[in-house]
């Protein structure tokens, strides 16, 4: 089952503090594209280990966006990257695209 990103966790964390929510969302919107770009460059340059470090950072954003299945996939993919296996790239990019599209709507 594919995860659908949402703000449930951020809303719970904020306790109805809309200013906090907006700041948190703004940080996501700023950091996410930068990290995706770095990940993409690492894969292109066949630097799987470095890509794994970026996946480590990105996977926490999956949790923040209530994407438990994507988070579990990222945990496993991070380990695969550490040993040079990039076979999960296509699925990981699909997850990233889903998040990118979501962030563009909020």
How far apart, in whole angstroms, are the C-alpha atoms of residue 35 and residue 28?
Answer: 10
Q: Does residue 3 lie in a domain region? A: no
How far apart, in whole angstroms, are the C-alpha atoms of residue 83 and residue 58?
Answer: 19
Q: Does residue 96 lie in a domain region? A: yes
Q: Does residue 42 lie in a domain region? A: yes
Q: Is the pTM of this model over 0.85?
A: yes
CB 96 within 8 A of CB 36: yes
CB 25 within 8 A of CB 10: yes
pLDDT digits (tens, 9 = 90+) for 34-46: 999 999 999 999 9
Read off the pLDDT band of 3 (50, 70, 90): confident
What is the predicted pLDDT for the residue at 98? 96
Give the CA count within 13 Å in the CB-facing half-sphere of 98: 17
Range of the domain at 30: 8-103
pLDDT digits (tens, 9 = 90+) for 6-44: 999 999 999 989 999 999 999 999 999 999 999 999 999
Q: What is the mean pLDDT of residues 66-93?
A: 96
Q: How many domains does the chain have?
A: 1
Q: Does residue 1 lie in a domain region? A: no
């Amino acid at each position: 089952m594919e995860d659908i990103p949402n703000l449930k966790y951020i809303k719970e964390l904020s306790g109805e503090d809309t200013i906090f929510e907006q700041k948190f969302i703004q940080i996501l919107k700023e950091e996410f594209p930068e990290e995706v770009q770095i990940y993409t460059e690492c894969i292109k340059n066949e630097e799987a280990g470095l890509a794994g470090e970026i996946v480590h950072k990105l996977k926490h954003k999956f949790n923040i966006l209530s994407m438990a299945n994507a988070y579990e996939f990222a945990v496993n993919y991070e380990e695969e990257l550490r040993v040079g296996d990039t076979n999960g790239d296509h699925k990981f990019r699909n997850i990233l695209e889903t998040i990118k599209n979501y962030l563009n709507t909020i």
